[in-house]
Amino acid sequence: MTQYESRDPSALHTPVLLDRCIELLAPAASRPGAVVVDATLGMGGHSEALLDAFPELTLIGLDRDTEALALAGARLARFGDRAILVHAVYDEIGDAVRGAGFARIDGVLFDLGVSSLQLDEAERGFAYAQDAPLDMRMDQHRGETAAEVLATAPEGRLRAIFERYGEEPLAARYARAIIAARAEAAILRSGQLVDILQAATPAAVRDQRHPAKRVFQALRIEVNQELAVLERAIPAALDLIGLGGRAVIMAYQSLEDRLVKRELVARSRSTAPAGLPVELPQHRPEFTLLTRGAELADEAERARNPRAIPVRLRAAERVREVQ
């Protein structure tokens, strides 16, 4: 047993919108021989509930974080070969499904963003409130760390990262401050970075919000290439879904949600040219939306589980196969 498997995942993490996810996936997941992909396995809370609710379901769980896979593996061991866990980033969903011996799936669940495990373990460097090495990699076995990005990126690139991925209005000021600070000493810890950002922030802004919040989000997205991966993953996942299958996607910040909305809306529209008197079958929408806009957690869940506060859930069902 590893150091991770000795911990109880259910005590570390409360799945967001669990009942709603099960409800939305149920018509597809309850079919005989159904296959559902949990593309962001985490500590296995959603997957465990799906496997319990649908006794004939096979679940393929993906995660790039080996710690999460170890915890989820222990949690889901009682389901035997009904739970197939794969060390993969979610844009590798096609390879993972084919590697498990399937050509199509009945459902997919995405629970995007940083996981509770990553936020709660200070040494991972995701949380600006705790001093730790600036790592921020979801998969600690590959890729640049946040410290390496801060050490090597030119000022223009840093500014672009903070603007694009953090929507930070003080991006230029923060980039200049980081360049000046790293000339004096390497920026290796989250506490150092917070101090640099605090010093570069006008007092009026410091009174309104924490200067590090958007910068840390932007660095995390850059380190893990989250938006680039998501832009590939959503179409790949939708392409795998068979007729009547469903996709449920939860996003926690506006950049993710825009990508999700754009793809789902595009797949749920007719492609018939304007003015065509009759819509031909090949122009009909591939999917129909199951939610009106993005659904939010209710007040009770937001109070019980603060990590549900920013969630935006969207879902769709395949209504036409593409030849």
Q: Per the annotation, where are the binding residues for S-adenosyl-L-methionine?
A: 44-46, 63, 90, 111, 118
In the annotated binding site, the residues are 44-46, 63, 90, 111, 118
The answer to whether 15 touches 52, Cβ cutoff 8 Å, is no
Q: Taking Cα atoms as reference points, which of 242, 248, 216 lies closest to residue 314? A: 248
Euclidean distance between CA atoms 150 and 178, whole angstroms: 8
- Give the integer Cα–Cα distance in Å for 275 and 50: 45
Q: Cβ(198)–Cβ(210) under 8 Å?
A: no
Q: Is 96:62 a contact under the CB 8 Å cutoff?
A: yes
Name the H helices within 189-298.
190-200, 203-206, 212-224, 226-240, 254-267
Contacts 24+ apart (CB under 8 A), 191-194: 191/131, 191/132, 193/128, 193/134, 193/150, 194/128
Classify 77 as helix, strand or coil: helix
Do 193 and 187 meet the contact criterion of CB atoms below 8 Å apart? yes
Work out the number of other CB atoms within 10 angstroms of the CB of residue 155: 13
Q: In this structure, what token pair is assigned to residue 104?
A: 């199509």
Nearest one of 82, 37, 44, 45 to 239, comparing CA atoms: 37
Amino acid code (one letter) for 189: R
> Cα separation of 124 and 50, whole Å?
29
